[in-house]
Amino acid sequence: MMQCEFETLTGIYPDVLLYEAAEHEYNTGDFASKAEFCDCFKADEDGIAQKCRNAANDRWLSEEELIGKLRAENNRLEYENENLRNEIGSLHDRVDELSDEINEIDEIGELPTATLEVAEPEITIQSIRAAMQQAYQDAAHDDCKGDQILHMVWGFDYLLRALGVE
């Protein structure tokens, strides 16, 4: 039965949920005609109208619950996205710091032998490159950011080659 037929036969103009519940009752019930079903609905015989109203209300509540869950998930994802953007910003800052350190090392040239005998680990282009790649790998915990991080690593390698550092 179409909604316009239901409205014409009952004089009731239901919302979508109530109409779907009434249609379900009509299709699963044992009614001789659409008019018979509509008369039963109007008179609420055997509580059919109440049953349809309850079914429509239950569906509405479940959809409201689902909407609430989806909103909560959306808020969580927005928060996580903001945190990831901040983390990427921090990584960009760290790349800038390390690039500055590379430039300083290139400007200084070879350090005097006395300073190389310090107990601290020797800083080389390779160790800086390894530290940069490790920082990117640590940030790559999110599969969605893997390609972006890989491109950042390639960009860093390109920068090193452009500076003549291998």
Give the pLDDT confidence of 54-101 residue by residue, as tens digits.
999 999 999 999 999 999 999 999 999 999 999 999 999 999 888 888
Asked, for residue 69, whether it belongs to a domain, the answer is no
Q: What pTM was estimated for this model as a whole?
A: 0.49
**Distance (Å, whole) CA 18 – CA 33:** 20
Same domain, 92 and 157: yes
Same domain, 57 and 95: no
pLDDT in tens, 108-155: 765 555 444 545 556 676 777 777 777 666 666 655 666 666 677 677
Whether the per-residue pLDDT at 46 is higher than 70: the answer is: yes
| C-alpha distances in Å from residue 39, one per residue of 7, 12, 52, 70 | 12, 11, 14, 40
Domain that holds residue 31: 3-63
* 12 phi/psi in degrees, rounded to 5: -110, 135
Asked, for residue 142, whether it belongs to a domain, the answer is yes
pLDDT in tens, 2-42: 999 999 999 999 999 999 999 999 999 999 999 999 999 99
**pLDDT at residue 116, rounded to an integer:** 47
